[in-house]
Amino acid sequence: MSVREVEQQLRIVLDAVEVAFAHGTTPDELMPMWYDDDIVVVGEGDPCATRGFRDLMAKAAQTLLEMGPRPQVTFKIDSPILALETLAVAMIDAEIHPDVRDAPRGSYRMMTAWRHGGRGWRIVREMFAAGRL
């Protein structure tokens, strides 16, 4: 599979997640759309890594609640991505417009590692920082 094909497949996943956010998809349905069971997330302001899907769900529940029922979330993949067979690394910019009155917008920069498996491409490692680079 070419790098371009991998990037197109990652874009399909991210497009589906954007639509799911906008439609108010529940966290139980939303999070498996783009995260693997073996996910590890580290980021700015976190005192320690979040390891595993169950821990990610517990941590994400409050964040998703604060975003409101139908936030507008957009992702931009910064090319080039690195891809080799069933693994890919991509820098992604996320813009979040909460569906809560007077809530601040958010911008995040994410370094993501993806693995292709039985559910397609899913993020297995993520490191994020607030703002843009």
pLDDT digits (tens, 9 = 90+) for 42-75: 999 888 999 999 999 998 888 888 899 999 999 9
pLDDT digits (tens, 9 = 90+) for 75-99: 999 978 999 889 999 999 999 999 9
How far is it between the farthest Cα atoms of the chain?
A: 44
pLDDT digits (tens, 9 = 90+) for 24-33: 999 999 999 9
What is the spatial distance between Cα 91 and Cα 39, in angstroms, rounded to a whole number?
16
In the predicted model, is pLDDT for residue 133 greater than 60? no
Residues 6+ apart with CB under 8 A from 52: 37, 38, 39, 40
CATH hierarchy code of domain 3-130: 3.10.450.50
Report phi then psi at 16, rounded to 5.
-65, -40
